[in-house]
Every structure is written in structure tokens, then in C-alpha cells.
Amino acid sequence: MRCAAEVVLVSSALIIGCSKSSSPITRNTDQLSPQAELVMPVPEELTKQGWKGKSQPCEIQLGNVRASVAQISIQKDDKYIIQVRRYNEVIDSEEYLLKDSALKLVCANGEVFDPPVDLSTSGNWKGSSVFGIKRPATGAVRITSETVPTKANDKKHSIECQKIEFQRVFDQPGKPNISFRFWIHNGEVVKREFGKNNLRSTTG
């Protein structure tokens, strides 16, 4: 599912913005290796539009499915976007605003936040969530610190991260609530988790 048109920039070649995670193994499943490291340059279509950034390998988990993918982090003016690609297909993306060291969440997991959620400071948020339809919502941001291994299950190799948790709550009863968690190191999102079993990490 793509985010609403007001936060998605459309070019003739691709969509930049935010999309809900889809299974990275959707076709030719017998030919895809979950262990394969996929590293690709930032697509030329993006650099021609003035986007600058980098590509790095990461691992994504959706439910019981794990796959090695390429994470492309790009910035243009105050827009900061993370795309996850497998064989050059965008399977997951998020959009942020980054200005004067303040990071604000615009769209993630296919959900648009109006106004954007300020992730740079602990506090409450109130606005609306657009996920198919627009609903009033509230939330709270909590910031702590956490040591994250840079190699799987290896505490000897780790980095100190700022852990940010945003709990989004719908005002309407019976609607699903969700926690968005982000791990930030040196100004970069190195790990994120949306709800349960939707995890992406560049730390190993």
C-alpha cells in the first residue's frame, strides 16, 4: 500500500516516499537466497533529481520470512527517505523530515502522520493517521538508550544507540494500536521495528 499522494513524489521511473512492508519473497521463491547480500548504488533516477545518500546491506524480517536486502538512505533538502530494495524492487520505505538535528516521522508502514511526529524529544503527539482512511489519533514518544550488537548475538561488537519508541493510539475503540521503534546511531536509523515481526536492521 502506498502512502497518500500528498507525501509521495512521483517521477516517470519510480515512486519516492513511503510504502507498507511487503514480503521480500513474493515471486520465484525457489530462486531467492535469504542469505544473499544485495548491495546496489543509489539509483540514477534519484541522483538526477538531486537526492544524495548511500546504500548498505541490511536484513528485513516480515513475520517468519527473513531476507537480505539493500537499504538506500537518501536526503534532499529537509526530506530524508529510507527505501528497502530487493533486486531493485522497492519493498519497504519510510519518509522523515530532518532539519537542525530534529527528526520527524512523516510516513511509515504505509501510514501517514499529520502533523509529522517529532522523534527528537520525548512528549505527546496528537493529530491524525491516514491509512486508507483518515482517523484521529494520539501518541507518546519515549527516548532511552540501548546497546545494539553489530554482529548477531555478539555483545562484544556493539554500538550505543538512542532508542525512540512512538506508541500510536487510535481514538476510536476497536482500532489496532501499534508501536514504532527506532534505533539511531550518529544520526542514522540503523534499526527499526513496527509492531511485532516487522523488523529491519543494518547492524547484523
pLDDT of residue 35: 43
Share of the chain above pLDDT 90, in %: 45
Alpha helices by DSSP H, listed for 11-80, are 44-48
Q: How confident is the model at residue 80 (pLDDT cuts 50, 70, 90)?
A: very high
Q: Identify the domain containing residue 122 by its residue range.
A: 5-201
Angle at Cα 121 formed by Cα 118 and Cα 178, nearest 5°?
60
pLDDT of residue 165: 97
Q: Indicate the number of domains in the chain.
A: 1
The arithmetic mean of pLDDT across residues 108-113, rounded, is 93
pLDDT tens for each residue of 18-37: 766 655 444 333 334 444 44
Note the pTM of the prediction, 2 decimals: 0.80
The DSSP result for 75-101, as a single string, is: EETTEEEEEEEETTEEEEEEEEEEETT
Rounded alpha-carbon distances, angstroms, from residue 10 to 15, 51, 130 = 5, 14, 19
**Could you tell me the three cell numbers for 196?**
511485532
pLDDT of residue 106: 97
